[in-house]
Structure 1
Amino acid sequence: MSDTTSISSPAVQRVTDHLRALNHPHAPRMLEDAARTAQQAADALGVALGQIAKSIVFRRKSDGVAVLVVTSGDLRVDEKKVQAIVCTDGGKLGRADAEFVKSATGFSIGGVSPLAHATPVVTLIDAELFRFDEIWAAAGHPHAVFRLTPAQLRELTGAPVHAVTTESTER
């Protein structure tokens, strides 16, 4: 890994600035190879798949707001559980395509950070991340990640913690 100077990315700089403003002790790091999937990130970092805080984006159909779920890389998000939490009006969640993800978060799929978004998003943190003392999240680019604890993720995002994964895992 190297520092963020090895790639010039406004998105990574936005995450870096956000982390710095919140006094987070770990700056983004650049991986030699892209980590567009949780497995690629885990392999590059030499950590367990579950330690990768993957960002899954949905679109709330009632108002078009992005819903970001941050969960462990070894688990699948249960869309019905998320929908019950964020669609209190009985509305539905929809899939978010790459264009929507980019316009709502300011990040491309494979590099969606849990913070420093282009527009306000509804964020949920999956309780299963708290199985780990240390996790890694995307930092605005498929090559960029940053280290944190689940508690720091909650503090940095202000997001609530919920059980939003399915019973089966991808382990």
Structure 2
Amino acid sequence: MIDQLPDSARRVALLLKERGHPHDVVMLPETGKTSAEAAAGLGCAVAQIAKSILFRRREDDAPVLVIASGANRVDEAKVAARVGALTRADAKFVREKTGYAIGGVCPIGHAVTPVTLIDEDLLALESLWAAAGHPHAVFNLSPQELIELTGAPVVDVTLRENVT
């Protein structure tokens, strides 16, 4: 099965296997580039998609990875308050720093180890799906497995609109 995966997804599958992760990489018939597309393909809630969003830290050009619930918008000010001023990461930066294309950025196995933060809202869910190195590839994991795989802190990164 692993041999039939695209190169970047195979790399993730082997890394997960090395780390003792119990679930296989799954190929979606349609793209999973957006949380809504991935959720539709998996038959799960959008909130269960652990989307990987990469930023560029202004002071040193370090990659900053935020793993957020697919239902949430990331509050860049909250992230910047924790890690320093941010700028947007373009497709070239994402590919260079992660080794993955946008839409397939996995929480692990990056070319350059990013500063990583996990959205606290993910901990309320039993099951998550994350990109596995390719826009059609995903893998299942629990919030605890996400924490163990990344070693990242769990923080509030969600933009919360004030409703009055």
Q: Fold conserved (TM > 0.5)?
A: yes
Residue 82 (structure 2) aligns with: 85
User: Are 2:144 and 1:151 aligned?
Assistant: yes
Q: What SS is found at the alignment partner of 1:167?
A: coil
Aligned residue among 8, 13, 22 for 2:6: 8
For the 8 Å contact 1:113–1:139, the answer to whether it is kept is: yes
Q: Distance in 2 between matches of 1:67 and 1:20?
A: 25
TM-score, normalised with respect to structure 1: 0.91
Residue 128 (structure 1) aligns with: 121
TM-score, normalised with respect to structure 2: 0.95
Q: CA deviation at 1:5?
A: 4.3
Q: Match of 1:8, as an amino acid?
A: P
User: Are 2:26 and 1:23 aligned?
Assistant: no
Q: Match of 1:78, as an amino acid?
A: D
Q: CA deviation at 1:14?
A: 1.7
State the Cα deviation string for residues 111-158 of structure 1 (Å, max 9, x = none).
000001111111100100112100000000001000000110000010
| RMSD between superposed Cα atoms in Å | 1.0
Q: Match of 2:160, as an amino acid?
A: E
> Matches of residues 1-171 of structure 1 in structure 2 within 5 Å?
3-9=1-7, 11-87=8-84, 92-168=85-161
Q: Match of 1:142, as an amino acid?
A: P
Q: Distance in 1 between matches of 2:105 and 2:119?
A: 16
Q: Distance in 2 between matches of 1:140 and 1:134?
A: 19
From the two aligned structures, give the one with the greater strand fraction.
1
For the 8 Å contact 2:6–2:134, the answer to whether it is kept is: no
State the Cα deviation string for residues 46-81 of structure 1 (Å, max 9, x = none).
000000000111000111000000000000000000
Q: How many pairs are equivalent? A: 161
Which segments of 5 or more consecutive residues in structure 2 lack a partner in the other structure? none
Q: Distance in 1 between matches of 2:18 and 2:82?
A: 30
Q: Distance in 2 between matches of 1:25 and 1:58?
A: 30
- Percent of aligned pairs sharing the same letter: 51
Q: Distance in 1 between matches of 2:23 and 2:11?
A: 14
Moved over 3 A (4+): 3-7
Which segments of 5 or more consecutive residues in structure 1 lack a partner in the other structure? none
For the 8 Å contact 1:54–1:70, the answer to whether it is kept is: yes
